[in-house]
């Protein structure tokens, strides 16, 4: 299926059911850190949960409404990145991403997000990309800020995660802004 080489050690590829076990293992090993900011680790308790997630993603892909890809580092799944939806009328999308604990600090998310932004504007001809991040997740907030996204607002008590309500910061980038700030 779809595969994009980021560099000699890293690539992105559509997640398939055959990846479920490895994906689950990355989530399971990183459950505590991922669970600070995201709700899916709490709902991912067995390999079959990862299979179900991947199958839902493939349905969204077939319906032209987003998808998730694996982020691979040296042949191993390091995390995931995806289009949460694609609004073809407004011509916008939202990108989500996460990495397993042992893969942070390698620039993988930065490289993957750049690929997804390029794909959004150059191939899909979208007008806007959003990234929504838990307000206290400073490491994740660096990504949209690095790429020149505008902080458009904060949704208070957006989600209940890990025993507390999380505010969500909304970042947006327009196609014409990307052309002038591409890294």
Q: Give the whole-angstrom CA distance, residue 132 versus residue 83.
A: 12
Domain of residue 67: give its range.
3-130
- Contact residues for 128 (Cβ-Cβ < 8 A; gap 6+): 90, 91, 92, 93, 172, 173, 174, 175
Q: Is residue 43 part of a domain?
A: yes
By 3-state DSSP, what share of the chain in percent is helix, strand and coil, each rounded to 5?
40, 35, 25
Structure tokens at 173: 């980038």
Q: Give the whole-angstrom CA distance, residue 166 versus residue 134.
A: 6
Average pLDDT by stretches of 10, the chain with 183 residues:
87 97 97 91 95 97 96 97 98 98 95 96 96 96 96 96 93 90 57
Nearest to 8 by CA among 103, 95, 144, 111: 111
The whole-model pTM stands at 0.94
pLDDT of residue 2: 76
Nearest to 166 by CA among 130, 134, 131, 137: 134
| CATH number for the domain harbouring residue 51 | 3.40.630.30
Q: Is residue 24 part of a domain?
A: yes
How does strand 128-134 pair with strand 92-99? parallel
- Contact residues for 46 (Cβ-Cβ < 8 A; gap 6+): 24
pLDDT of residue 182: 53
Residue with tokens 């990108």: 95
Q: Is residue 152 part of a domain?
A: no
Q: Is residue 45 part of a domain?
A: yes
Q: Give the whole-angstrom CA distance, residue 17 versus residue 30.
A: 20
pLDDT of residue 181: 58
Q: Is residue 53 part of a domain?
A: yes
Alpha-helix residue ranges (DSSP H) falling in 44-153: 47-62, 108-118, 138-146
Q: Is residue 175 part of a domain?
A: no
Contact 67, 83 (CB under 8 A): yes
Structure tokens at 146: 């690095």
Instruction: Count structural domains, the chain.
Output: 1
Residue with tokens 């990183």: 30
Q: Is residue 80 part of a domain?
A: yes
Q: Is residue 82 part of a domain?
A: yes
């Amino acid at each position: 299926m779809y595969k994009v080489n980021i560099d000699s050690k890293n690539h992105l590829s559509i997640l398939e059911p055959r990846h479920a076990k490895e994906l689950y293992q990355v989530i399971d090993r990183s459950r505590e850190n991922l669970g600070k900011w995201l709700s899916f680790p709490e709902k991912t308790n067995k390999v079959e949960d990862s299979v179900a997630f991947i199958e839902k993603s493939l349905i969204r892909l077939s319906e032209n409404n987003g998808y998730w890809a694996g982020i691979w580092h040296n042949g191993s799944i390091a995390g995931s990145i995806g289009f949460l939806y694609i609004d073809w009328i407004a011509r916008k999308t939202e990108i989500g991403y996460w990495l397993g604990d042992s893969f942070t600090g390698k620039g993988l998310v930065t490289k993957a997000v750049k690929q997804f932004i390029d794909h959004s504007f150059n191939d899909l001809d979208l007008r806007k990309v959003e990234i929504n991040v838990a307000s206290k997740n400073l490491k994740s907030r660096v990504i949209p800020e690095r790429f020149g996204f505008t902080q458009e607002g904060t949704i208070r008590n957006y989600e209940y995660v890990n025993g507390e309500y999380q505010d969500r910061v909304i970042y947006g980038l327009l196609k014409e802004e990307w052309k002038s700030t591409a890294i």
